[in-house]
Chains A and B, each alone.
Chain A
Amino acid sequence: MKKIIKKNYSIHKNVLVKRNSSQITKSHNPKWGMEIETKNFANKVKLYRQGKISDDDFRRYRLQHGAYGSRLNTEYSMIRIKIPGGEINPEQLEKIANLSEAFSIGSAHVSTRQNIQLHWVQLEDVSEVMRGLVEVGLTSRESCGNTVRNVMCSHFAGVCTDESYDVSPYAKAIARFFLRNPMCQNLPRKFKINFACCSKHGLASIADIGLIPVIKEDGNRGFRIYLGGGLGAASFIGHLLEDFTPEDKLLATCMATIRLFDRFGNRENLARNRMRYLVHETGWEKFQKMVIKERTVVAVTTSELTRIQYEYRKENESSLLSSIKISPISEKKLKLPVLNDDGNNTTESKHQGFKRWFNTNVVSQKQLGYYTIFITLGAGDITSNQLRFLANIIRDFSQEHTARNTPQQNIAIRYVEGKDLFNLYQKLTTIGLANPGALSIASPVGCSGTTSCNLAITNSHRLAKEIQKKLLELRYDTDEDLKSSTIKISGCPNSCGQHEIATIGFFGGASRIGTSMAPVYTMLLGGNSDEKGELGKTLIRVPAKKVIDVVLKIIELYKQEKHEIQNIEQDPKLPFNNLENWISDISKGIGNGKIKNLDDIKNLLIPVIQLATIEESPDSYQDYGNDTKFTAKTARGECAA
């Protein structure tokens, strides 16, 4: 009986109201997809196979529709499904589960830009996957190629205790405006837009356009807009365009920026064609003036026909929730719900597990009594069965009936009531989705690496999972000092794994060690993705099989220093209060303990990274997931095709 009530009613104006039946059976269809595109794609594949379309033309076409060539094998594709703003509903999760089972490998993969990727799909089946996506309102269109990529939105938008207002509708409206828009079908290079909820969440500083919502004293909504950030072979933190950009100038600002990029961006040099290089080469002050000027032109020349294609009010579907009481400032540090100790069917160990999970996977929302919970994935991987299970969890436990995927490659389920948390946790344990550590150091990011990417040199994906396993084994997720630190790994210098903004970041490469080639990672320390942003500083190259040792050594060194300081001073006021600060200080050369700077820590790490000879330990010269000699093999990247 209880269950029935839960299913059919939801909270509105703090009273139970019956949900209308369509809400129970079907989520809102966001209609990102177009059926005609699926048929066209199938036909194009046939023409290509018959040799009637050139390789280059076909590649361009394929990428525009979100299908990458798979690693060293053009028979297969990786389909990157756009999840605008990261919002995904249960039907979509179920459809992706089925499509992956039928046409991919039975697992899906959450990317660092809130896409969901299906790997190793036969080129001939891509149109079938697209067809399925259209049924649930999704698309892979313009998720690759020189287009406006998936528009990101902080997964806390709408529930963040520090945000000034919910940017989700704006993010979706901007995504919809630029999708299939003629003005951005062939940019010099890809273009990324990130909406943050506050200065901490949402990666506003590392996008071509990054936006943070602000409300002026007069109550007007607007943004702080950052331009020209981005990660890659050369990374940049974005520049603040102006103190306040009113919301009615949002579209014009975005259009102006994209127009300038389209006009002046470098189309010759593949390595320097992202907008951040244009900004860098032009000089920020000059570029800033250009944007403001162009924005005026856009504002006065944009037709009504164009303008009506941007309608953020239409994107706001969660009015149901706007009535939930927002907790006043004093309550913002919300108390966590008390466990209901009925003791009957819950064993002690389950409670222990729950507490551990609760510690790193549950965050209280600004809405009183509601929580956002996180599903910890391994480098973003989730099976079809798990996806289907999750769909039902979302239906049963989330009052907004959708989930959001996160740039940390996890999944957030929001609007969960405190009283349901334990029950929800128990359900998750039955299908391997209750791992702790989502919001801790024990949730490393790993791009796809050699599991499917043409440019990869190392198996960053597997490495991320191996590190996660180790850290969870050691229960480092429970260590408060380590919680705020992050580990991010890319399989090559291209930064899909966002290694520059990690506390401890790695990118893959190959090195000759002794007489043999070995997979190695360049380690960076001290990055973060706050509004001001900080790029990690390169330290040393670590053999792949020594990365875990190095991570553990860093943690050990931290603990040692903390311990020593605590011993010396009677009433210790630690100059650093966690690993993240400690590393950040060291990376700036202002360490407070014995380890002052990067050279100090480097010297201490060098003994850890020494490899035995290849004869003594052949395994040390192989990459994860391989039992053969390591060779760095790559093919032409398609990012810039």
Chain B
Amino acid sequence: MEMIQNSLQKLQEENVQLELHIFNTSRKETNKGRPCRTINFKPKEKSYNLKKQKSINKTINSSTKNIVKNTKKTKTVKARTTTTRKTDVKKSNNNKTKFHQLSITCDVDTLRTLIRKKSVRVVDVRRHDDYKKGHIPTAVSLPLATVLANDTPEGIIKILQNLGISNLMPVVIYDDTFGALAARVAWTFQYVGHTNTALLEVTFSKWKSIGLEVERKINKFSATKHSISLNNNIHADASYVENISILPKQDLQNNVEIDLHVNSNTVQSKSPDISITNPLNNKIIIDSRERLNFLTEHIPTAKNIPYTMLGTDTSILREGKELKRFMENRGISPDSEIITYCGSVGTLSGLAYYAFKLAGFNNVRLYSKSFKDWKSLGKPKQEFKEANYWDLSAE
């Protein structure tokens, strides 16, 4: 009980500061009178403005309370769900217990088959209130905020166990934010060792709009054991990134902000082939924020692949071959090591992480604490101040 109380308090504290930057990619407010930038989607799905953000945070708050309440309840509802558990296991031909091995994304048909066979754990990472209004059948609720509030390997393992996810069980994750929230959670699961995790290739809105099954009941499964096995080679922290973000000497002015423009031929050399601009090795930092945020400031040597490039109207990620072509156009070779980052909590860059995976890159890392962490540590930044590009935005 004390533990629950503690974690609740912690959650609330986190929520106060939680910058759900996905709904508000505010840029640095240097100039007076510029409008604050928000991400907009199509009319129907759009307008997460600042006001709304507050309410989002509020609901996250209340939904986390719900979770705590629900965990208390689970003890009493165990009986019903254990029967479900047994059928999770699928028998294969050679009579050994075997789970379906998922790839990076999971298409709608595969998921529906798995749901029918009851051999998948579907994870809904939207706000708990949205979950309650309807979700994919058998899905459990795990709001992104809960993951972020427990973002230690032990915390995540505990979450997996509470959701009844065993070591090899397939897990398919979805959201309604073009895949970015789902991607962050999926990456987190894979980081602590649950490799059999995939992103649903569509958002919940899409799922609903094509008329697929939606249920409203709150699903609970009895807790299981899950072992921990950290996947350190998909994670990067500030010092890791810093080691590969070093610009040629003359551009570093005692670690202060670098005002970079094109005429300083050193960095903006005509070749973006990173192995040349960054002599260290074949490691490439990818900034997945939108173009204007990137132009304003970014980690030195980073290349910009805005998250908006990655998906389509119908799918959270484009086809692998198309993504591969984008990277090829940029001269990024598939044997490069990629480190993705975004504004604050690793959602946009989580999606970028999976985009690189889908494009056939084996060596990809997520700088999960991203640019917010980088800035708070006072690390050097590259800026571009020679144009008033923000004034082109019609928002």
Contacts and interface: CB of A to CB of B under 8 A. Distances in A.
B290 A449 contact: no
A74 interface: yes
Contact of B291 (A105, A430, A448, A623): A105
A42 B304 CA distance: 18
A452 B326 contact: no
Contacts of B392: 105, 107, 109, 119-120, 381, 448, 451-452, 461
A625 B43 contact: no
Contacts of A574: none
Interface in A48-106: 48-51, 55, 70-75, 98, 101-106
A451 B391 contact: yes
B268 A625 contact: no
Interface in B339-388: 384-388
Contacts of A626: 31, 388
Interface string B23-61: 000000011101000001111001000000000000000
A69 to B, nearest CB: 9
A405 to B, nearest CB: 14
B262 A107 contact: no
B292 interface: yes
Given A72-B386, A124-B272, A45 B329 contact: yes
A103 B309 contact: yes
A620 interface: no
Contact of A120 (B32, B42, B295, B394): B295
Contacts of A327: none
Contacts of A388: 42-43
A74 B271 CA distance: 11
A205 interface: no
Contacts of A431: 43
Contacts of B268: 73-75
Contact of B389 (A105, A383, A465): A105
B270 interface: yes
A119 B31 contact: no
A462 B388 contact: yes
Interface in A423-442: 430-431
B304 A122 contact: yes
Interface string B64-87: 000000000000000000000000
A385 B386 contact: no
A370 interface: no
B308 A106 contact: yes
Contacts of A624: 388, 391
A248 interface: no
A105 B290 contact: yes
10 contacts: A74-B268, A74-B270, A103-B306, A107-B393, A120-B292, A378-B394, A381-B393, A381-B394, A385-B40, A430-B43
Given A75-B262, A450-B388, 11 more contacts: A49-B273, A70-B387, A72-B263, A75-B272, A101-B308, A107-B395, A377-B394, A382-B394, A388-B43, A431-B43, A627-B30
Interface of A: 42, 45-46, 48-51, 55, 70-75, 98, 101-107, 109, 119-120, 122, 124-125, 127-128, 377-378, 381-386, 388-389, 430-431, 448-452, 459, 461-462, 465, 623-628, 633, 635
Interface of B: 30-32, 34, 40-43, 46, 261-263, 268, 270-273, 290-292, 295, 304, 306, 308-309, 313, 325-326, 329-331, 384-395
